[in-house]
Every structure is written in C-alpha cells, then in structure tokens.
Chain A
Amino acid sequence: MASQTLAKCGQTLRFILRLDRVWLPVWLVGCLVLALATLQLFPGFAQTEEELTVFGEMLKNPAVVAMCGPAYGDGITFGIMYTQMMLVWTACLVGIMNVLLVLRHSRRDEEEGRTELIRSLPVGKASSLTALLVVATASNLVIALVTAAGLTAQGVEGVDLAGSLVYGAALGGVGLVFAGLAMLFAQLASTTRGAMAFSLGALLVFYLMRAAGDMGGDAEVLSYLSPLGLALRSFPYFDNNWLVVLALVAVAAALVVLSYVLSVRRDQGAGVLPQRRGRSRAGRLLNGQVGLYARQLRWVVLAWATGVLFCGAGYGSVFNDMESFYNSNPMIQALMGATGTDSYSMMMSVISTLMTIVACIAVVPVVTCVLHLRAEEGKGRLELVLSRKQSRVAALVGSIGIALFVAVLMQLVAAVGTWAAATLAMGYDAIGIDVFLITCINHLPALLLFAGLAAALYGIAPRLTPLVWVLLVYSFMMIYLGGFLDVPQWAMDLAPFSLLARYPAEEFELVPFVGLLLGFVVLSAVGVVCFRRRDLR
C-alpha cells in the first residue's frame, strides 16, 4: 500500500530538480546572500566599545523594534545586532521562496493539467507531494547549514558557531513552516492565485503580528503565534534557544500531515473550499482593457493598500514612544544634540526615513500594475485583447495610468494611516497631516519612476523587467543601511528616493521632484514606442 501511494516518487523528485535546475539555485543563492552578505559591514557601524553601546541603545528604539524585532541580551554584541536587524527580513525572503517553490509544483501543476498527466502514469497518489516535501526540506536544510557555516566563517567578533547554528536553524525552520503552509493552501484553494494570496497574506499577517507583539506588554503572545516572531525568540548568540527551532519544525510537520490528509481525500483539480458561481453576463464596467485590468488587479491593490496602511500605522504608533525614548535617554540626547538635533527635528528625520521605507513598499503594487501586461502576454491573453479593436498604445498607457492611480492611492493611504496612528498614540495632533501628506507626495515621482522604468523595459524586451526589482531592492538597502554605512553619494543617488529632498527633515525641493516626473514621462514614452515595434510573444 505504502509502496503504491509512493510509486515513482524518486522519478518525480528528479523531475522537479530538473525543472528547477536554474530556478532553485538562483533562489537559494539570493536567500543566502541576504543571510550572509551584510555581516561584514557591522563591525564598521561601531568601532569603539562606546559606539557599540550607543548602537545598542538605538536598537531599543520602538521604531526599530516594530520594524525588525526585539532587542535582547545582557549587553550588545555584533551577533545580537545582526540578528535583530537581519533575521526577520531574511526569514521573510526564505518564506517567500518556500511558498513559490511549493505552489509551482502543486497547485499550479494541477491547475495547468500537468498533475493529471502525471497521475495517469504509474505514479503514486502521494508521490508528487512527497517529492516536493523532500525538495523543500533539503532546500531549507541547505539554507540552515550554509548560513551557520557562512556566518561563523566570517570571523566577526561575537558571532560564534553555537549562535550561528541557531540562527541558520531558525531560518530553515521558518522556511519549513511556510512550505507547510503553502502545501495546505494548495489543497484548500482551487486556483494558484488563491493559494498564493492566502500564503503571502499569511506572511504579511505574521509580520504585523510580531511587530505588535515585539512592542512588549500583553500583546507579546502575538509574537509567539507568528513563526517570524517565534524565530526571533531563538535569541541567537545569547540564549541559543533550540526549543524554538523544534517548535517551528513541529508546526511545519503538523501542516504537512494536514496537507497529506486533505490531498488524498479531495478530487484531482478541485480545492477543499468550494468554487463560487460567476455571473452569466458581464457587468457594465467590464468593457475594455482598463476595465479588465482594473478588475484583475483590484484585489492585489487592495491587499497592498491594506499592507501600506498597517505599515504606516505601525510606524505612526511608535512616535509617542520615540519622543519619550529621546527624553529619557541622555546618551541619545548627547549623540543627537552634538549635531544640533532636538527632539522635534529627530522626529522629522525619523518621519522622512520611515515614510521612504513605506514608499518603497508602495512601489511593489505600482510596478505590478505595469508588469501585469507582461504576465498577460506570457499567458497568451494579450493576444486575445490585441486581436480586437484594441491598440498596443492603449494597452501600455492604460496600465501606466492604473499604476499612476495606484501610486497616488498608496501614498494617500500611507499619509493618512501614519498621521492617524501618530495622533492617536500621542493623544493630540502633534504633527499636522500636512507634513505627512507633503512627505508622501514628495515621494510620488520616485514611485512613478519605477513604473516608467518597468514600462520601458517591458516595451524593449519583457525578459529585462526583473531589473526593476533589482533597483527596488538596491534602493531599499540604500535607505535601510545607507545611513549606517559610508556609501558614496553617487551610489546613494542611483536610488531614485535619494535624489529627492528628505522632507520634512529638509526643505521641499522642486527641481528633483520635476526631474523625476520628467524621467517617468520619458521612460513611459520609450516603453510605448518600443512596444509598438516588437512582436508579441
């Protein structure tokens, strides 16, 4: 019986590895780069014992805690510093990799009819899922071990083998949980889109849960309920808590078992959750490209708008703590005061940085709205549209228009969300909504530049479009780490956000604002012109 359900599992495994012979190494390397590459920079942040202590104090800042995770330990070390600043982000990326890996070999294969083909061969019922489980487990094991070895090998003070093993294991553990979660959603939802939305939505919720929990108090239980929060509580280089890793593996195992049970019970091609019936005629809005794309994108946009709202609100709610943090912390006052900074201007500087990070997040849905066309083309549906009375110009300009709308929407949501939370937390309207609105509008041209770049690359050759994401990650790194590091100005300026005035810490400047807007227009025009000349795939 067991041999029956697992028949040809080995072959299925080899098949998955063959299909992913480029995909999987690229993702593994990407995750490992994020897991390892920045450790070398940390000793540069604080060269003296004193600087290290100041840095340790800064890491207790509620904004940092909300964004990255709790401060812990008796005294600050580079190991603890690195964990607090990097673990959660790396864990998110590893989680995303696992979700994509699992869904592309489970629900997507099923949706596109490949599973049916394979099941008709003498392949066991549980073979594909088992083969997939083996690949996912091995990938996470690789991540765990290489991370542990790579961190130790860099020989940074305070980063020992015992701590690095826990760090790597926590990453691998989170990866396994998300693999299990994606497997479960692949059984529940009947479409890849649905399973993907559930899985990535879960990631967002887990991040927000730990952000709330890590602020301390009664809410801390939320952090223990989130795999990301749990992983942070392995406290590498301090407690080295292996129980947390065990808990993560146990949760993953439970999710996998549940997926197996559901997978053998349900029908091929169906989800456990029922399909809803659709309407038999189209509504009035579904009458052309813009109507169609708006309809396709509305849930994605709504989800990201919610994410941006929460993110802004999360940051806004810590302004209160930040003020008291400043007032109660002579060390920080001394540090900031030396550069002529008082509590208010520190707040302005923090607003500028935090809102840039929110704007970076808002870039994702904006670019997605443009690159949506690429997906449509790849799936052969753009041909269906453009073989009708629909022009290519309308296709691309329409998508850019949607991106423009989404950019404005995201920035408005971010401004209002942050302002509302800040006002609630402080109990009075300490910082006017105009400050937040202008901050967000100031960022708008940078968001649009990303949209323009996406349009240009798509028009020239769709395979170039991943470069947009490269630039976004680069920009994010510059904002996130650039302040700590001695990055040359030109390297900073490659990130569109760095070109703009750092309002409200600095005066608003019109020249870079208009310059980036022009860049957006020119790039969009290049995209449209090139798109008109090339073959459709």
Chain B
Amino acid sequence: MSVITTKGLTKRFGKVEALRGIDLTVEQGEVYGFIGPNGAGKSTTIRVLLGILRASGGTAHVFGRDCWHDAVGIHERIAYVPGEMNVWQNLSGGEMIDLLVRMRGGSDRGYHDELVERFDFDPTKKCGSYSKGNKQKIALIAAFSSDADLFVLDEPTSGLDPLMELVFKDCVQKVKAAGKTVFLSSHILSEVEQLCTRISVIKEGCIVDSGTLQEMRHLTRNSVTVTTRTDPATVLDGLQALVGVHAAKVLNGQIFFHMDNNATASVMGYLTSQGVEYLTSTPPTLEELFIQHYNQ
C-alpha cells in the first residue's frame, strides 16, 4: 500500500493558487525527493498532508487515511521537521526536544543521547539564543529519535553546516535501512540526488517532472569547463561524439559542456588522452535546470 497518495490536490489562498493539481504516490520504504525552487508549493503540499491546511480540491491520503479528518491519528506515525523552525524562547533546547517527542508519543532514550552528541548540540541553552542551524537540530533530533513510520522533512538542512549535513544524511540512510518511508523536500539537487530513490519536481504549484533517479538522469548533468593541450576544436568534435555530452561549445579557448553523471568515466578517459590542463565540474543549480528543461 502507498504511504502517501494525492490526486489533483489544489490549494488556493484567496486569489493565489499555491497548488494546482498535485499527484503524488510515495511507496512504503522509499526515500522520496520533492524538489522545486522557493515558493513552488513544497511547504504548502506538506502542510496539507499534515492536516494543517485544508485542501481546496482533490484528495490527499497518508497511510490510506484522509489527511484532514484523520490528522491526529496519522500524526502518531509521522515525524515532521518543519521548513522554518519556530521555538519557545524560554524552554531550553533539551526541554524542547523532549516536549516534541512526548507530544508525538513514544521515544527512544538511547538514540536521543546519541543524536545530541552526533549533532554536537548543547541542550542547556535557552531556545531563543540558538542560531538557525541549532534550532534546526532541535527538530532533527526530535524527529530521528522517534520511531515513526513516515518522516516528513521540509528543507531539513537549511542552516546546517556541511559536517552536520553529513550527519543528517547518515540519519536518513539509517532510517531507510530500517524500512521507514522518507518524504524529503529540498531545493538543493545534490542532496536529493544522494539520498532519494524517486523524485518529483514541483514548479509554480504543478508537478513538472517525476520518476526514478535513473529516469531523471538528465536533471543531474554537471557543467564542465576544461582547457587541453590539443586544439580545442578537435577536442570539441571528439566530445560531441561521446554519449552523455550535451551543449558543448568553445569560448576563448576553453571548452564548455554538460555531462551526464554516468558518462563521467568515458569523458574523463577521453579528456586525459587529450592532455587536460585545467578542469572544473559543477553540478547544475536547480534554476539552471529549470531554464534548460522547462523553458521557464
């Protein structure tokens, strides 16, 4: 049975149409990526799934139960990390974590201490004095120390430093290994790419693309800039002949092209044979992808 299903989900705020027909199916045990630029409607979708907002049209079910009417029953099995973490200024971080866990029902004490340590979190400070990243840790520790069946994470790494992002990714992997379902919203493609089995791309309230990572390969091309000892024009010809190389061109003696990740080995092999002098490879930003694939 699917864990999350929505059909033709719409949500209006007055005249603003935040969601215009969202279809989603998330299966048991998968890590599902939900990506889109800011204001696309990710948080709105999640808040409808949690019964905080009431859908204007369409249906939304979690664990086969209606998101609005059975909200409380559903929440018992969900761990949620909100997009923007708001705290009770006068509680300490430790108190707030415990409170969040208790209000969900059930906890795992051993796991709690381990997480506090791994996230390098000081639970004795008042919540009001924590930085954005530290507030985010409160939500993450509370979520991952609970034994929920579904983890709904709304841009969970915003404000975390790279080291903590690693800890976060590890937590997701552990949860996934335990057979739990994860619904991860993000606007950072590389994060989704490393963790998720399936992805949906949302833009202006519509799902514009969805599928497995394999099917979505075209979304994960890197931009490569390279200079070689051999003549750029010949290298360009050679590159264009390779599978997985796109939009190659020469500018001021430098070669620019996009490369599918699974073509990395063959491209690098070829470039090495041409004598690489300098090479950078950057993953595409989401905005670039949208310009590229959906013509805005």
Contacts and interface: CB of A to CB of B under 8 A. Distances in A.
Interface of A: 111, 190-191, 193, 275-283, 286-289, 292, 295-296, 379-381, 383-391, 533-536
A300 to B, nearest CB: 11
A165 B91 CA distance: 48
Contacts of A276: 126
Shortest Cβ-Cβ A-B pairs, 9 listed: A278-B92, A282-B98, A380-B86, A280-B94, A282-B95, A388-B103, A280-B123, A388-B104, A387-B80
Given A278-B94, A278-B95, A388-B75, A381 B103 contact: no
Contacts of B96: 282
B102 interface: yes
A389 B129 contact: no
B52 interface: yes
B90 interface: yes
Interface in B104-163: 104-105, 123-126, 128-129
A390 B51 CA distance: 12
B98 A383 contact: no
B82 A387 contact: yes
Contacts of A390: 72, 75, 103
Contact of A281 (B72, B94, B105): B94
A385 B51 CA distance: 12
Given A388-B100, A535-B52, A535-B53, A191 B94 contact: no
Contacts, number: 112
Nearest to B104: A388
A333 B228 CA distance: 111
B89 interface: yes
Given A280-B124, A292-B88, A379-B86, A384 B100 contact: yes
B138 to A, nearest CB: 10
Given A275-B126, A384-B100, A386-B52, A193 B75 contact: no
A275 B125 CA distance: 9
Interface string B192-231: 0000000000000000000000000000000000000000
Interface of B: 47, 50-54, 71-72, 75-76, 78, 80, 82, 84, 86-100, 102-105, 123-126, 128-129
Given A282-B98, A287-B102, A383-B47, 8 more contacts: A111-B89, A191-B128, A278-B93, A292-B99, A383-B52, A383-B86, A387-B82, A391-B71
Contacts of A288: 102-103
Contact of B124 (A278, A534, A535): A278
Contacts of A280: 92, 94, 123-124
A292 B127 CA distance: 14
A279 B95 contact: yes
Contacts of B75: 387-390
Nearest to A383: B52
B72 A278 contact: no
Contact of B98 (A275, A286, A295, A381): A286
Which of A279, A280, A390 gathers most chain B CB within 10 Å? A280
B51 to A, nearest CB: 8
A220 B290 CA distance: 75
A380 B90 CA distance: 16
Contacts of B72: 389-391
Nearest to A378: B86
A387 B78 contact: yes
Contacts of B94: 278-282
A389 B78 CA distance: 9
Contacts of A535: 52-54
Given A282-B99, A384-B86, A277 B54 contact: no
B95 A281 contact: yes
B76 to A, nearest CB: 5
A394 to B, nearest CB: 9
The interface centre, meaning the residue of B100, B124, B128 with most chain A CB atoms within 10 A of its CB, is B128
A11 to B, nearest CB: 27
A287 B92 contact: no
A282 B93 contact: no
A81 B50 CA distance: 60
Contact of A389 (B93, B105, B128): B105
Contacts of B80: 387-388
A176 B179 CA distance: 64
Contacts of B125: 275, 277-278
B141 to A, nearest CB: 12
19 contacts: A111-B89, A191-B89, A191-B128, A275-B125, A276-B126, A278-B125, A279-B94, A279-B95, A280-B124, A281-B94, A282-B95, A286-B98, A287-B102, A381-B86, A381-B88, A383-B52, A383-B86, A386-B50, A388-B105
A285 to B, nearest CB: 11
Nearest to B132: A113
Contacts of A385: 103
Given A191-B128, A384-B86, A535-B52, A389 B76 contact: yes
A49 to B, nearest CB: 59
A68 to B, nearest CB: 36
A384 B82 contact: yes
Nearest to B84: A380
Contacts of A275: 125-126, 129
Nearest to A535: B53
Nearest to B48: A535
